[in-house]
Structure 1
């Protein structure tokens, strides 16, 4: 891990020393099996109730031991880099001895990672527990750290025997061990181990091979990502293009349908208004004619009444000729007339404009119904059935014929009461009227459509007694008559 002293802090801070969860400097970094590292406090927040952690980077789920987050392996490499970074940051600041905290630093212990003044360094080198430690002049230490930081990093201590540094690597257990481990936990008779430096040299060589293979896979993944990105961008452009095309077509179709609806609507409105204006002219003329006739009759009547009431014999007879002529002419005037036009006009809408290309039709001639069949005679307790059919069915299509019209039917009984009759639309141009009678005698069925009597209405129907014959036969028995009744 050789690097220049001027570039090391920036490289470390940028690539390694920020936690991906809190985005701050690592605090006791822990490394997951997927090789992603996070602060221990951050991992504690990720642990779920089932004792597992989902990696925020690769989303892999890692089961925890009974120790929880504390049982996750500490990333010693990151810890040492953080310490190295902090030292590099404080190069240009004056440092005091880590032992006495007073003297100027002149030496550095690579085992303890402490900086000492001359007195403390001498004492540190004489103590039995630390006299084997490697002490370098501080300038030598800084030069070595800039040239090869790994050469001056502190040793890694055994996780089992905390006071013993790691010196061997057990190939049998696939773990780094200390000297005490070789005697207690990893005996030579059962385990194969070697110097940790030799194992690291071989592992480094293998890592270079792995790195080359990973680089190939990384390049392949990057190329695949570029292809997917190209397809994604192409898909996005295609979507935007086709979406705009579709929206444009929708707008055009809406405009076209709106234009067709407007044209058809204006045509129907013109047709409706034209018929209205024509009928209005005819009815207005008829009203004017009737108004003139009514005024003539009223004025003549008022004149004659005053003449009779106030005039003398001479005045009456002088006006006789003129009055006779006027009254004779007025009495010839037809005063009982029907409107020259009817008030029926109906817009029958079409529910599917796209299929029929029309909002509907305007009907000016009402459907004329006539009585088609009726039972002339029924018995008490039976149903009277009557069928009416549209008389102008041939001029109407089935859809128009089947349209519901306001048909009303009432039955007048012999006692003068009226009963409403059920009307059923058969949706084929006919309607069936049915009611049950309970009274003997002549009944009158009246049927109206739009409050106008249909052709053949009213219909007289005779209701007779229930089916059966009562006969009485008699014989004398000792001066009396015995009656025997037989019913058929």
Structure 2
């Protein structure tokens, strides 16, 4: 936004939407303080979920009303009015009411924001609804005055002829004089104050925030300068290291030519890796500076040029944005040190170790590197994760030739491995073990063993759980009658414990308990996570219902619609709608995000529904029943069913937990015999994954890294089996 609103100072770019590149139409402000046309934002929101700001890529959580609920940028509207009013001073501009039929524009109505000719001005002053409107004559419009002269008046939505002149501090709402008599009468429940008083306080708060931006910008600019300086040293460092390597390898003649090429390749790759990392760092820092600069400009405009109404409209939003940016912990260190060529061996001692001759010394501190070994299953693609670290214990990049891996099976046979950089200094070491038993993995960086190498990895058969979480008890990490499971937004396992009446969150790699929170119900059962990462927990019996919890476990709402008498399995759609299975009522309920009934599903088909999986892409609901799985669409129409009672392939023995994989395949566990079976999207049997060892499996889920987690009700644990 422009810092001034002088008549010929502001640039047309400030009136242009960055999406459609046209003048703003109904401009709306995102939480990051960037402004776009309302229709452009609506179109943008249909193309991506979750919504990201088109300018700064900040993830946006829209209000319940969607884009319509975003605040209007009245500052931009004022600029547009100002531009329109100034245009009215030009000869030949037609009246916007009679469209030039009565003459040229001579005045500007601040209330209607239109240009009027003399005849329309006279009519405007005669009509009761507009006679009190403030008109700006052409002579005033021609003056070199600021746009503040053309700000629209804001009127009450309820009392259309009343201007907003008060601010109810209790309700945090702008109100008119009539509102202070009716809906916001001063007293214990309401405290209307003249807007000028409140606006001045908000201006002072924003002014204080502005003072903190410049020092932060200077710090970021200094960091960018430092990164630029280090980038400038990359090529000289490469040249010096190259000359050192050439001088060294010239002494080794033909025997060392191949090694020489390897080292030169490492140097080039290190230069590219460091250059890319430094450039990425620079871009990240510039991104932070851009956010601060944008917020600074917006905040300054609001303080210097915004009306009282505008200040109160956007003040809290501006304050929250600036405070968030100033409080954000930004790593401004480039963490780069010059690399150089190192002679690992004297010329006289090279004969027995040609492969180890020379190397590229980088910022990687091998003693700080870490390897996380994941559970391995015979016949599946398995992985270990290497993180290369610098001396400060931060992940850092290096060239691919610096990482070497060797793996052997129990017989000593070398197993083929693949090393692939994932991001930054994180590397995936993948392999497919052909036999069970103890395997040995050796990992080196810069020809040195990383701490813990070689690693012993026990490869298990596919019917053996790769990880068992929990044991019977009420302590941290212990479980009593786990029943419902889901994956939270961070990929951790969230489990409902019927015995301990709580939800406990576990790390999927280590199995360690991360946190837990109580559930206020006698029989908690199902659990799912909405698109904002909040938990929904169902329960039956006394205090039945659906409870909505924050990520931290704070109870937000309890839904007990009249149509519900039993709440078991639950599934949440991306738009917040819920599908709940009710065993006693022999149906499923499709509910709004706030618990209101949309429709009952499966009333004539279901006998004892327990768990639910929702395929939102196809609009289908999968429900486990007494001895089969029934499928309905979201309109409640029965589509098909599959399975029958029995112990054979594709047959069910008290099916309970159900989930879907990314291909739309359906995964179902039998409570009676523990078999976990996979069916195609059409219900055709594909395979049996495993047979659960713990007693009475109920809820199941598929983790982000390809494991099936099963809640073992009588085993008081969660068992993980490899799926893909």
TM-score (norm 2): 0.32
Larger Rg: 1
More strand by share: 2
TM-score (norm 1): 0.46
